Amino acid sequence: MRILVDQNLAYAVATSLIEAGHNVLHTIDLDLQTAPDTELLELCRTEKRAFLTGDIRLTKYLVEPKAKSPSVIIIRGYKRDIDALPDILAILPAVENINSGGDDAIFSVQKDKLARIRILPLDPVVDDLG
């Protein structure tokens, strides 16, 4: 799977995903550590990458324009972001399945809870992933 890891997550997360066989870049690899979220999302759209982040506020950039892509995986509630790795790896088949069907979605992965999935575009009245 093709993934871009946000600057707010440790480089070790990207390294572990690469070791698991995924095509992963971290924003550090592209010298985009300070790039705005909108630029990172556009890069993911262009390169057909899922965006892995810890930023729950990022969904605002997908709701307003009724964006249909890219898929975004948001992790939250972990003591350290690398602790989320087993849950990230567990959700990737669902991401690939939805993407292979031509859709993109937001996946909210939270410690000790079932993952939440919302197909894009998001409805600003109904969908609240915060």
Domain assignment of residue 27, yes or no: yes
What whole-number distance in Å separates Cα of residue 35 and Cα of residue 44? 13
104 closest CA partner among 74, 69, 63, 128:
69
Distance of CA 13 to the CA centre of its chain: 12
Structure token digits, residue 66: 């009724």
Range of the domain at 93: 2-119
**23-57: pLDDT as tens digits:** 999 999 999 999 999 999 999 999 999 999 999 88
Domain assignment of residue 8, yes or no: yes
* Secondary structure element (H or E) that encloses residue 46, with its range: helix 37-47
Provide the number of structural domains found in the chain: 1
- Domain CATH for 85: 3.40.50
5 closest CA partner among 45, 34, 40, 36:
40
Domain assignment of residue 76, yes or no: yes
pLDDT at 124: 66
Domain assignment of residue 126, yes or no: no
Domain assignment of residue 129, yes or no: no
Domain assignment of residue 124, yes or no: no
In the 8-state DSSP scheme, what is residue 72?
A: E
User: Amino acid letter at 119?
Assistant: I
Domain assignment of residue 57, yes or no: yes
Residue indicated by tokens 């859709």? 103
Q: Is the pLDDT of residue 127 over 70?
A: no
Domain assignment of residue 79, yes or no: yes
| Confidence label for 126 from pLDDT (cuts 50, 70 and 90) | low
**94-116: pLDDT as tens digits:** 999 999 999 999 999 999 999 99
